[in-house]
Amino acid sequence: MELLQRTFGFLVTLLIASVLLFPENVASAGDTLIRIKARGKLRCGVSDGIPGFSWKGPDGRWTGMDVDFCRALAAAVLKDPEKVDFVPLTASRRFPALKAGELDVLARNTTWTMEREAVLGILFAGVLVYDTQGFLVPTSSGITELSQLDGATVCVVRGSSHEEHIAQTFGARNWTYQPLQVESSVQAMAALNEGKCKAFTSESPQLKTARMNAPDGPDQYSLLKETISEEPMGPVVRRGDEDWFTIVRWVLFTLILAEDGGYTGANVRSRLEKTADFRAMSWKQLDGLIAKSLGIDPGWRIRVVESVGNYGEVFERNLGSQSTLNLERGPNKLWKDAGLMYAPPFR
């Protein structure tokens, strides 16, 4: 009995100590939305400068696919898409910042992997962009095939999934290479230009942007045709707050479902006010119940779409036909257009 009492006393002391020493661990579960509302701002982690995803212009305004998602999320929970503090992060800093509570959500062209969820204690809310990993080389090098990089030095951003993907690909083919780890695409392009590496590997849009912005002109660099991995990228939250995770996930799904239903930033409010529209009636019937359950104001889906448009509008504006990148949507088309974009129904 005495041994049992001593053991129980030790466990109680240990529990109290853990609360005193690590209070953030207790406070972090379930109260993300409360902290956001008290602060009056959403803290969104983005890249330190990737056009098409998150880029701070000369006027100080952020633009990009990830940026628009953050604004849509702020519109849902704070009723104002401008109530966002964008926190620029390198790839190596993004997960520590999220885990430390410096961010409410990470939207930084981050690839969804099982290892990251299991080991880091994070959750991916879904896929915002499907992409692939490719290679950029100097045109003067004469390199046109991936096999020509056997034995080469390759620039890769530190802390990215590209490090593991190139290791797996080259290892499976019994090729060797020397990784040159850098902190950003700017450093990678500088190293490539100086001949410190023979190729730069990253997501295809990032490589295309780097090529377009090359000081000596885009013709000085070439994209290899072969890609080596799938890159499903999306917003990330800390594990332990299911309500916040649900909100983030369904803001993403709302953008997709809006395009699927023909709702745009320009027509979503007028269409949802027409009770003759069967789908609009369904949306409105659920709105109050869902909003109350999640702790946000009714009309959140209208605010989401009004703030940035539907998924197709967001993609085309930042990565597609209306952008300098002019990327094909490919797998980012809706399911009914032979793409992979699909969202569960609201009911």
Name the residue among 64, 220, 245, 206 with its Cα closest to residue 138. Answer: 220
Q: Are 154 and 178 in contact (CB under 8 A)?
A: yes
Q: How far is CA 243 from CA 28, 95, 186, 269, in A?
A: 12, 20, 38, 26
List of domains in the chain: 31-130+234-337 (3.40.190.10), 131-230 (3.40.190.10)
Give residue-wise pLDDT tens across range 277-289.
Answer: 676 777 777 788 8
Task: Give the other-Cβ count within 10 Å of 178's Cβ.
Answer: 10
Amino acid at 43: R
Q: How far apart are CA 138 and CA 27, in angstroms?
A: 51
Give residue-wise pLDDT tens across range 283-335.
Answer: 777 788 888 899 999 999 999 999 999 999 999 999 999 999 999 999 999 99
Averaged in consecutive runs of 10 residues, what is the pLDDT profile of the chain (347 residues)?
A: 36 34 40 96 94 93 97 98 97 94 96 95 97 95 97 94 94 97 91 96 89 87 94 96 97 97 94 72 77 92 96 97 93 97 91
Q: How far apart are CA 36 and CA 20, in angstroms?
A: 24
Amino acid at 14: L
Q: DSSP string spanning 42-73?
A: EEEEEESSBTTTBEE-TTS-EESHHHHHHHHH
